[in-house]
Structure 1
Amino acid sequence: MLNQVADGVWVRQSEWVWSNAVVVRGDDGLVVVDPGIGGADLAELADDVDRLGIPVVAGFCTHPHWDHLLWHSRFGDVPRYATAACAQSAGEVRERARAMAEQSASGVPLDLVGLLTPLPAAGGVLPGEVVEHDAHAVGHAALLLADRGVLIAGDMLSDVLIPLFDPRRTGQPAAYATALDRLGEAARHVDVVIPGHGAVAVGPEVAARLEADRAYLDAVLAGGDPADARLEQDWLAGPHQANLAQVRG
């Protein structure tokens, strides 16, 4: 079910890697951010949206990984916005994303995966400010709703995921440092952070998330193993070693 975390901002979490779908009320209607994950989740999210009694006018995709490229026909044939770089990348990886969605989640409308519209340069189509960076994925972006004190962070600032470098690109440690600086500046205006995966951060937890990601990055750059509770999850051992390998070149 949708849980309201701020005025006109709701979150629904799926079981799959604690994935968060976000619904934002704008001036003209609702914006659905990163809906997922399986077909049942999408249908239940659509039920929740119907109960709000407000039309969906747009979608927003934070980055071009398959679990953030999903959609359901019940949300409507509306623009699904992303940064220009994200939209281009989504088009290039669409077939692979569809295959991964089919393999990893049941009942996903595969024909709707990755159909994105680049944000217009003039802006104004989404509530809030888009904060673009280059960490984790091409064209990754957060959505800052400063008037409501909320930052929708995509796959950043999670309590369950360590920083995950894009293994297909070089320069990710520097990109992460820049991204954390940008998100840290945005976070000065909020008291709620919604990550793509994990618990919503509220109040002092916002600064703690930034500190945890910076501490992880500093430790990896120094060539050591961070004292990070998130690494107690065995499945993150591989991504962590990939991060270390990229730092070592």
Structure 2
Amino acid sequence: MLNEVADGVWVRQSGWVWSNTTVIRTGDGLIVVDPGIGGAELDELADDLDRLGAPVVAGFCTHPHWDHLLWHPRFGDVPRYATAACARMAGEVRERAQAMAAETATGVPLELIGLLTPLPADGGPVPGEVVEHDAHAVGHAAVLLADRGVLLAGDMLSDVLIPLLDPRRTGQEEAYEASLDRLAEAAEHVDVLIPGHGAVAKGPEIAARFATDRAYLEALRRGEEPDDERWGKRR
């Protein structure tokens, strides 16, 4: 079910790798961010959206990994936005994303995977500030809702997943650190942090998330195995 974590901001967590869908109410309707994961869960999410009593006017995808590229017909035939780099990459990996979804999730509408539109310069219907960076995935973006004290972090700052660096690109440790710096600046005045996977962080928990990820990266720089018990720890 949807849980309201701030004014007009709801989160629904999937049973698959603690994946979070975020729903944002705007003056025009609802924005659905990274819906997932299985077909039954997408149906339940559609029921939750119906109960909110407002139409879905757009989707937003934080980055082009298959579990963030999903959609359902009941959400509506509306634009699904992403950064230009994310939208381009989603088109390139669409067939692979469909194959991974078919293998991992049940009942997912494969034909709707990865159909993204580059976000217009003025942000279109997506509220707040989109913070694009280069960590974890091409065109990765966070969304800062400063007026509501909320930061949607995409696949960063999780309490259950380690920092997952993109092995196909060089300089990811530096890019991840730089991205943490940008997100930390965005998070200075927020009370709620929503990661792509794991528990929502509030208050002092937010700074702790940054500290944990920085400690992980510092261990990598020293050539050490990070002392980190989150899921996905390197073996």
Question: In which range does the TM-score fall when normalised by the shorter chain?
Answer: over 0.9
1:42-97, CA deviations, whole angstroms, 9 ceiling, x for partnerless residues?
Answer: 00000000000010000000000000000001010100000000000000000000
Which residue of structure 2 lines up, in the alignment, with residue 246 of structure 1? Answer: none
- Give the counterpart letter for 1:176 in structure 2: Y
Residue aligning to 1:95:
95
Alignment-derived partner of residue 11 in structure 1: 11
Kindly state the Cα deviation for residue 225 of structure 1 after the two structures are TM-superposed.
Answer: 2.0
SS of the residue corresponding to residue 226 of structure 1 reads coil
Paired residue secondary structure (2:182): helix
TM-score by length of 1: 0.93
Deviation (angstroms), 1:117: 0.4
Alpha-carbon distance in structure 2 between the residues aligned to 1:124 and 1:78: 12
Q: What are the equivalent positions in structure 2 for 1:207-246 lying under 5 Å apart?
A: 207-230=207-230, 233=231, 236-237=232-233, 240=234
Amino acid at match of 2:45: L
The residue matched to 1:229 in structure 2 has which SS? coil
In structure 1, how many angstroms separate the alpha carbons of the residues matched to 2:158 and 2:139? 19
Counterpart in the other structure of 1:166: 166
Note the 1:97-116 alignment, pairs <5 A: 97-116=97-116
Measure the CA separation in 2 of the matches of 1:106 and 1:36: 11
Q: What is the SS of the residue equivalent to 1:142? A: strand
Q: Deviation digits for residues 187-227 of structure 1, max 9, x if unmatched?
A: 10201000000000011000000110011101111111222
The one-letter code sitting in structure 2 at the alignment partner of 1:26 is T
- Number of the residue aligned with 1:149: 149
Aligned to 2:119: 119
CA apart distance, 1:167: 1.2
CA distance in 2, matches of 1:44, 1:124: 27
Matched, 1:73 2:73: yes
Q: Tell me, what secondary structure is at the counterpart of 1:46?
A: helix
Q: Which residue of 1 aligns with 2:191?
A: 191
Partner deviation per Cα, 1:137-190 (whole Å, 9 max, x = no partner): 000000100100000111000000010011111110111011000110011020
Which 4+ residue blocks in structure 1 deviate beyond 6 angstroms?
A: none
User: Are 1:24 and 2:24 an aligned pair?
Assistant: yes
Secondary structure of 2:17's aligned partner: helix
Instruction: Find the aligned partners of 1:111 and 1:83 in 2 and give their Cα distance.
Output: 21
**Secondary structure at the counterpart of residue 208 of structure 1:** helix
**Paired residue secondary structure (1:17):** coil
**Other-structure match for 2:54:** 54
Q: Which moved more, 1:122-131 or 1:141-150?
A: 122-131
SS state at 2:214 partner = helix
Identical-residue share of aligned pairs (%)? 77
Q: Which runs of 5+ in 1 are unaligned?
A: 242-249
- The Cα RMSD (Å) is 0.9
Q: Deviations over 1:89-131 (max 9, x none)?
A: 0000000000000000000000000000001123243111001
Match of 1:134 in 2: 134
In 2, Cα distance between equivalents of 1:124 and 1:97: 26
SS at match of 1:170: coil
Per residue, is there more helix in 1 or in 2?
A: 1
The residue identity in structure 2 corresponding to 1:116 is: L
Secondary structure (helix, strand or coil) at the match of 1:71 reads coil
